[in-house]
Amino acid sequence: MSNFESLSKAVIAGNVGQAAEITKNALDLGARPMDILNLGLLPGMAVVGDRFKKGDMFVPEVLMAARVMQSCMEILKPMLVDEEVPSAGTVVIGTVKGDLHDIGKNLVAMMLESAGFRVVNLGVDVPPEKFASAIREHKPHILGMSALLTTTMLRMKDTIELLEEEGLRDKVKVIVGGAPVTRDFSEEIRADGYAPDAASAAELAKQIVGFSVSS
C-alpha cells in the first residue's frame, strides 16, 4: 500500500497521529506537498463525505476526519506556500441572528475547507448587517447561512432582502441549510441553493463555483 493510500485510510479512520506520521514520512521521502494533499488527504475526505451522505458515518466520525485533515494541513502549509495552490473559492458562513447552534455549521466549514475553499466563519447569532459587511470585506463567491430553529430561519430571508437593498445580492451565491430548512423554503426566500447536510453543502459549493474560480 502506498503512503497516499495509507494516508487516505488514516483520514477515514480519524487517526490523527498515524496521519501526521505518514505525512511527515512522505515529505522525508521527497513527495510533493500538493501530491500528499491531492492523492492522500482529499481522496480520504471524499470517502468520508460520501459515507456521511449515505448514513454510514456520523457527525463525531466526520469531525475526527476533518481534524485529521486540518492537522496534516498544518504540516503541509509552510511548504504549500511555495507552490501554486489552487483555491476553490471563498465562502462566508454563519448561523443566523437569534440562533446559537454551531456544530452543524462548523462541520460544513470543515468540509468546505477540506474541499479547498477559504472559509470565513462568522460564528453564531449573526445579524444580516454583519453578513453584508463580510461580503463587502471578503468578496466571497458564496454565502452560507445556517439555522436550527424554525423561529430563526426567517432571518435568512431578512439577510437576503438586506443584500438586495444594498446592491450585494448579485455579487454572491447564497446557500442555506439546517434542520428546519427545506428546499421549498430556500426557493421561497430566493436562495441559490439548499443542502441537507455538510457533505452535500461542500458538493453544492463546488458545483456553484465550477471548481475553477482561481484558474
Q: What is the rounded CA–CA span in Å between residue 168 and residue 195?
A: 22
Q: What is the rounded CA–CA span in Å between residue 57 and residue 48?
A: 7
Which tens digits make up the pLDDT trace of 92-137?
999 999 999 988 898 899 888 878 899 999 999 999 999 999 999 9
Nearest Cα neighbor of 9 from 45, 49, 52, 62 is 45
Could you give the angle at the alpha carbon of 106 between the alpha carbons of 7 and 167, nearest 5°? 120
| Three-state secondary-structure class, residue 176 | strand
Q: What is the rounded CA–CA span in Å between residue 108 and residue 49?
A: 11
Cell representation of residue 15: 487517526
pLDDT at 63 (0 to 100): 87
Task: Provide the mean pLDDT of the chain.
Answer: 91
Name the percent of the chain lying above pLDDT 90: 69
Q: Looking at the domain that runs over 3-80, which CATH code has it been given? A: 1.10.1240.10
Which tens digits make up the pLDDT trace of 82-102?
666 667 899 999 999 999 998
Q: Which residue in the block uniquely carries the three cell numbers 454572491? A: 172
Class of domain 89-209: alpha beta
Domain ranges (residues) in the chain: 3-80, 89-209
Nearest Cα neighbor of 95 from 146, 130, 129, 140 is 146
